[in-house]
Structure 1
C-alpha cells in the first residue's frame, strides 16, 4: 500500500472511532461510501455494537503492519495490552507455520505426547466403552496434543484493538480469541482453523459425536465488538474430507464466529460465511443463566452461502437478524439444516431476510432447540413472502428492537449483499 493511501486510511480510522461514539443501537449505514479502500474504516458501525471504537485512538507509534504470526503477536503486545492499536495484516498469515518458517503438522503437535489415533479408536469404541465420560491414557495424550496445537494457533486479542486486512490479506488456521472489550476486525479472509485432534464425546446426543476446538473468531465475555467485511470458509479442509468413525463424522471444525460467556453489544455486518457447518453460536450452554441480559448481537447484511446451521443459533440473547442473504442450491456437500436456532430463552427479531434454499421448505428456516420466541417480518423464502414465526408457531419476542436507521427493502437485499459483503470489497 502506498504511503499516501496508508495515511488516508489511518485518518479515516480515527474519524470512524469518533463517529461511532454517538451511535445508538439502531442499525446505521455501514454500506454508504464504498468507493476507495479508506472507506473500510470510515463507515460507521451500527447495531448493538454501535459504541465500538477499537484502536481508533492509536498513535502512529502504535500502528503496525504484520506479515506473520510472530509480528502479529508482537503488535498485539499480550492479552492485557490495552493501549489503542491499529494492526494492518499484509499477505497471508498461516498460524500453523512456526517462527522458523516450518509448517507444523499433527505429527509435530503429537510428538512426545504418546497420542496414537488407532489406539484412541480402540480404547473408546462405543461397543466396549459405552456412554460414560472419557478417561484414561489415550484421552490424556490426545488432550496434550490438542494443547500443543492451541499454543500455536490461538491468539488472544487485547482491548482497544483494530485489526484490518490490506487487500488480499488472509488469516489461515488461527483462532482469534476476544476476551477484552472494544475490538474491531475487518477485511480479512479467514480459513477456519482445523483441529488435528477431535475428541469423541459419547454423551453428545444419543449416539455420541466428534467435537473440535477453535473458531475463526471467539468472543468470550467481551463487550463492544464489530466484525465487518470478512470472509469465512473451510478453505482447503472441507468437511467432505473428514471421514467417519464410530458411525459419526470426524469433525475437525468448530464455529466460524461464536459469542459466549456473557459477550455483549456486538455487530456482525457485511461478512461472507461460506461452506461451513456450525456457523455462528450465540450462547453456549443452557445452564449459563448469567448470560441473561447479555448477548445483545446484531447480525446484518451478511451472506450465508452453503452453511448448514447456526446462522445464528441463540441461547438467552436478544438478537437482531436483519437484511441477511442465505443461499444453498443443494449441490454443495454442506446440506442446509436450518437458519435460525432458538435455544433456551433466546429472542430473535428478524427483518427483511432472503433465503434461497433448494430441497427445503419454509418451516425449515427455524429450529426450536428449547426456545420459542421469534418475531419476523419481510422474510422471503425461495421467492415467496412468508412468515417464519407463523409457520413454526413461535411466540412473539418481549423486547422492543430499536428501529434500524437504514433498513434495506427485501426486494433489494440479494443485490445489496451480493455486491457489498465479504473481504476485499472495499479496495
Structure 2
C-alpha cells in the first residue's frame, strides 16, 4: 500500500483527552469555565506578557485588535498581499481601506518599501499620517510561516508616524528574536497588538480558536469584554457597547491547555525536521529550501521549497497533483489577496517579490509527528516529480 504523507495535521499525544473529559464532566463547555483562564495564563507566562484574551479564532483576534486600535470606516490600513486572506478581511469588517505592501525575501512585509510609501505617498500633518486624505491608522504585519518580520525597522516607522502595529502571529507562536533590540521578545509581543491562531494546522490547536495580547494590559481586558458581547450586567443584560460573540469555549481551551504543555517539544521537532529537509535538499538544482531570518529562533511552522522556474515550467497545480498521486500532500503558498475578487479595486504598492514567490513556493509536509522515513520519502518523491516535470 502506498504511503500518504499529510501536509500538516494536529498532534494529540499529551493530556488533551484528560482535560477535555474533565471539562465535559464539570459541564463547562461554552464560554465560561476554568480552562479558558488557565489557557490565558499559560500563554501569558510563555510569551512573557501581562495579559492574554482567548477568543474564537485568529480572525476574531485580528478584528478585535483593529477595533481596539481605533480603526474606523474610511481609515487606511497597510496590509500584506502574500498571506492568508483572513489577515486582511477584518479590515473590511471595519469598513476601512486596505493598501497592499510588498514582501521581502522573508515573505513578510518589506520595511524599505513601507518607508518609501510613508515618506513619498503620504503626508504627516498635525500628528496624523494621511494617504489621499484618509488617515493611515494601522499596519498588519504577518510573520509568515513562523518567520519573523523585520520588526525593528517596522516599529521605528510606526513610532515616527503614530501608526498602530498589529502583529499577525497566527503562524508564529514561539518564534522569537535572539539578537538586537528585541532579543528575547516573541512574535506577537512587539507591536501594539498580537494575534494568534489555534486552527487545526497550527503548531498547537484547539480545533478553532485564537488569542490576542497587547502592550497595554487594560486594552486586553477591554478586548475580552468586547468578545463576550460587552456585558456590563450579565444578570440584567445591560450592554454599553456593541459586542461580539468572539470568546473561546472552555472545551477548546481544555485542548489548548494540554497543547501549551507540549509547545516547546513541538517547536523543537519543527526546527529539527527543518534541518533534515535542508540537508536532504542541499545541492538540489530544481528547488531550494527557504531559510529564516538571522538573529531569530523561528518555530519553523511551515517549510517552503522555492521551485526553480528556469528549469520547471509546470504549474503549481500540476506539481501538487502529481505529488498527491505519489502520496505526498503539498500546497501552493497563497493566491495574492489583491488579485482576489473582493480586493481587485484596492491599491497595491510596488508589488514585485510577492508575485515572484506566489509562483514559486511549494509548502511541504511539516507535521510534528512526521518520521525521518516519511521525510526521506517525501523528499525522494518531490525530487522524482520535479525531475519528470523538468523542461526538455
Q: Which structure ranks higher in relative contact order (CA pairs < 8 Å, sequence separation ≥ 6)?
A: 2
TM over 0.5: no
Q: With structure 2 as the length reference, what TM-score do the two structures score?
A: 0.28
- Which structure: greater helix fraction? 2
- Which structure: greater strand fraction? 1
